[in-house]
Amino acid sequence: MKSVLVCGAGGFIGGHLVRRLKREGYWVRGVDLKKHEFAETEADDFVIGDLRDQSLVREVVDRKFDEIYQLAADMGGAGYIFTGDNDADVMHNSATINLNVLDAAYKRNCKRIFYSSSACMYPAYNQEDPDNPNCREDSAYPAAPDSEYGWEKLFSERLYLSYNRNHGMESRVARYHNIFGPQGTWDGGKEKAPAALCRKIARAKSGDSIEIWGDGEQTRSFLYVDECLEGTIRLTRSDFTGPVNVGSEEMVTINQLAMMIADVAGKKIELEHIPGPLGVRGRNSENTLISERLGWSPSQPLRTGLENTYEWIERQVKANAPAAA
């Protein structure tokens, strides 16, 4: 039986990935600082441990895994990575994880390793026009990400590509564009816009207003988690190193996103624009390369993924509501 290691298996994408790999018949070891918050893991072996600790990493990478997926990172949405308050932790924690995991994989001869980079590594100067952002893979340099999170991703991309060139590692690097879906962080400060807006709308009554950071005219695209897994697995098993975008090209403003969720919820919602951490003004995935190299593109519109996600977050909101007196 083929064996796989999923680093960050207690997180959002890692949790979904473990489930999919089990369905495919793999033996799966997961590792994370914590258990998954919203579901029992399906991993055959789940190690609670800190991937910043080199000796722990060497214990976890104890065999020649057929595939390693490195998803562990100190990360969050705009409210976490654009305030500046978490910069030192984000850079130190995520870079240390990547240095440890990649080197342990190399030393155990685990050749095939996937790394989850981010669209946040693209230069800010190409993402100022909300209608025409440029996130083509070859627009990455001269580098000028707008966050330390993005700089760490860029450093780690280069690390994986260096091990590919110098040590023959079959590194595979994807640049994820805002992934969303059920069983992701939806409260507490690390949630991204789709989950935050689903939560706010689930808590609102028809006719209420919800708060939106900024004027809401900033643009993004959002990719449903199942689509992300398909792109991730295809890339990992291909002969293409990347880096390559894994995202949706269905760009919307944050105001449009909010209105789409309100429509899914069947509520009339007003928007109140308030100051908040914003990030780049416009961002959209550019999928020419991935569609040429892997024949992949998202199969469903944004709204379909939002329907599943809203339903799940609405259930969390109801389950967590204070009991009526």
Residues that bind ligand NAD in the complex, under the rule CB under 6 A = 8, 10-14, 32-34, 50-52, 71-75, 93, 97, 116, 118, 176, 178-179, 185, 192
193 belongs to the binding site for ligand GDD (CB under 6 A): yes
User: Which range, of 19-27, 35-43, 261-269, 276-284, touches ligand GDD by CB under 6 A?
Assistant: 276-284
Q: Record the tokens describing residue 99, joined without a space.
A: 């240095």
In whole angstroms, give the CA distance from residue 114 to residue 174. 8
* Residue 220 touches which of ligand GDD, ligand NAD, none (Cβ within 5-8 Å per kind): ligand GDD
SS3 67: strand
Chosen residue from 77, 123, 130, 184 binding ligand GDD by CB under 6 A:
77
Please state the length of the chain.
Answer: 325
* Residue 254 touches which of ligand NAD, ligand GDD, none (Cβ within 5-8 Å per kind): ligand GDD
Q: Record the tokens describing residue 122, joined without a space.
A: 């693209």
* Residue 245 touches which of ligand GDD, ligand NAD, none (Cβ within 5-8 Å per kind): none
Rg (CA), the chain: 19
Question: How far, in Å, are 156, 206, 260, 262, 264 from residue 255 at the CA level?
Answer: 33, 17, 9, 11, 14
User: Which range, of 32-40, 136-144, 162-170, 188-196, touches ligand GDD by CB under 6 A?
Assistant: 188-196
Chosen residue from 160, 213, 224, 296 binding ligand GDD by CB under 6 A:
213
Q: Which of 69, 115, 149, 176 is catalytic?
A: 149
In whole angstroms, give the CA distance from residue 202 to residue 199. 5
Residue 106 is a catalytic residue: no
User: Which range, of 33-41, 61-69, 76-84, 305-313, touches ligand GDD by CB under 6 A?
Assistant: 76-84
182 preceded by a cis bond (ω within 30 of 0)? no
269 belongs to the binding site for ligand GDD (CB under 6 A): no
**Closest residue by Cα to residue 114 from 248, 2, 238, 223:** 238
In whole angstroms, give the CA distance from residue 43 to residue 27. 8
The residues binding ligand GDD (CB under 6 A) are 75, 77-79, 81, 118-120, 176-178, 191-193, 196, 212-214, 218, 220, 254, 276-279
